A and B are shown apart, each in its own frame.
Chain A
Amino acid sequence: KAGVTQTPRYLIKTRGQQVTLSCSPISGHRSVSWYQQTPGQGLQFLFEYFSETQRNKGNFPGRFSGRQFSNSRSEMNVSTLELGDSALYLCASSLWVGSSGNTIYFGEGSWLTVV
Chain B
Amino acid sequence: GQQVMQIPQYQHVQEGEDFTTYCNSSTTLSNIQWYKQRPGGHPVFLIQLVKSGEVKKQKRLTFQFGEAKKNSSLHITATQTTDVGTYFCAGRERGGADGLTFGKGTHLIIQP
Contacts and interface: CB of A to CB of B under 8 A. Distances in A.
B78 interface: no
Q: Which 10 A-B pairs have the closest CB atoms?
A: A45-B99, A43-B102, A42-B104, A106-B42, A56-B99, A99-B92, A48-B99, A106-B43, A108-B42, A103-B45
Interface string B1-14: 10000000000000
B93 to A, nearest CB: 11
B73 interface: no
Contact of B100 (A59, A99, A103, A109): A99
A90 interface: yes
B28 interface: no
Instruction: Using C-beta atoms within 8 Å of the partner chain, give the interface range for chain A.
Output: 20 to 34
Contact of A109 (B42, B90, B98): B42
Interface string A17-57: 00000000000000001010000001111111000000010
10 contacts: A33-B100, A35-B102, A42-B103, A45-B101, A58-B98, A98-B92, A99-B31, A103-B48, A106-B43, A108-B42
A102 B103 CA distance: 19
A66 interface: no
A105 interface: yes
B45 A56 contact: no
Nearest to A91: B42
B105 to A, nearest CB: 6
A90 B42 contact: yes
B50 A108 contact: no
Contact of B41 (A45, A99, A108): A108
Interface of chain A, main secondary structure: strand
Interface of A: 33, 35, 42-48, 56, 58-59, 90, 98-101, 103-109
Contact of B105 (A42, A45, A90, A101): A42
Contacts of A44: 102
Contact of B1 (A35, A48, A59): A59
Contacts of A99: 30-31, 33, 48, 92, 100
Contacts of B100: 33, 45, 99, 104
